[in-house]
Amino acid sequence: AQTVTQSQPEMSVQEAETVTLSCTYDTSESDYYLFWYKQPPSRQMILVIRQEAYKQQNATENRFSVNFQKAAKSFSLKISDSQLGDAAMYFCAYNTVQGANSKLTFGKGITLSVRP
Amino acid sequence: GAGVSQSPSNKVTEKGKDVELRCDPISGHTALYWYRQSLGQGLEFLIYFQGNSAPDKSGLPSDRFSAERTGGSVSTLTIQRTQQEDSAVYLCASSLAGPSNQPQHFGDGTRLSIL
């Protein structure tokens, strides 16, 4: 079974600065998908960025980018030019590519606060 | 277009009562998922529906939990004889069919409190 670990329960960043959120996972599969989701106080989970394991290039979405290290099974999220609206819980998630069983396996999340 | 809709937003009930939680997925999304988020925890998978296939129930924590999806659209999660440990936020998500890199779109969840 796959597991996702987010070892930092909380982080804080100054507005306009850069912050990196860590995530590691464990799997025996060679191909899979990884995601970062954001959950603001409104509770709705919002997809931030996704990465296919077979792609060597790190995914980027505007101020959000990942550092995907497949051999180390590490998938960190970098937020550049942090904004007050980035304050939320961030969840790392894994999905298998096998068959139609596409449930997400989530880490426990990290609470990010942004200081003005 | 409309997103995933869940109702009720909040539910408070007494221990031992049955509850029903509703999820209305995005139109055209054939895949529907239920997750549970307990305080301080990540999301725990409960059940997954894909089209007319048999659902993946592997995440249901006990036989008090069941879910159905009528007509390939609206889904209802039922918890019988509720216990205090059932208190959590129940999140529903839907996605298009296809490879599992399809993003899952989440509703706002139902916060269930068992007294």
Q: How far apart are CA B25 and CA A46, in angstroms?
A: 15
For residue B66, what are the β-bridge partners? Answer: B78
Q: Which of B7, B38, B46, B101 to mutate to test the interface with A (most CBs of A within 10 A)?
A: B101
Q: B71 — contact with chain A (CB < 8 Å)?
A: no
Q: How far apart are CA A66 and CA A20, in angstroms?
A: 9
Cα distance from A49 to chain B (closest Cα, Å)?
Answer: 10
Q: Which of A34, A48, A104 to mutate to test the interface with B (most CBs of B within 10 A)?
A: A104
SS3 of residue B70 by DSSP: helix
Among residues A113, A63, A65, the alpha carbon closest in space to that of A89 is found at A113
Residue A98 tokens read as 């096998």
pLDDT band (50, 70, 90) for residue B99: low
Tell me what pLDDT residue B98 has: 67
Q: How far is CA A100 from the centre of its chain?
A: 23
Tell me what pLDDT residue B60 has: 94
> Is residue B100 predicted with pLDDT exceeding 80?
no
Question: With helix as H, strand as E and coil as C, how does chain A read?
Answer: CCEEECCCCEEEEECCCCEEECCEEECCCCCEEEEEEEECCCCCCEEEEEEECCCCCCCEECCEEEEEECCCCEEEEEECCCCHHHCEEEEEEEEECCCCCCCCEECCCEEEEEEC
- Give the pLDDT confidence of B28-68 residue by residue, as tens digits: 898 999 999 998 677 899 999 988 788 889 899 999 999 99
Q: What would the mean pLDDT of B81-96 be, rounded to a whole number?
A: 95
- Give the pLDDT confidence of B60-87 residue by residue, as tens digits: 999 999 999 988 789 999 999 999 999 9
Residue A100 tokens read as 């139609």
Residue B99 tokens read as 């490879």
Tell me what pLDDT residue A99 has: 61
Residues lower than pLDDT 70 in chain A: 98-101
Chain B residues whose CB is inside 8 A of the A33 CB are 100-101
Residue B58 tokens read as 């592997």
Residue A77 tokens read as 């999220």
User: Does the distance separating the beta carbons of B102 and A103 come in below 8 Å?
Assistant: no
pLDDT band (50, 70, 90) for residue B103: confident
User: CB-CB: which of A44, A46, A103 is closest to B45?
Assistant: A103
Cα distance from A44 to chain B (closest Cα, Å)?
Answer: 4
Q: B70 — contact with chain A (CB < 8 Å)?
A: no
> Is residue B90 predicted with pLDDT exceeding 80?
yes
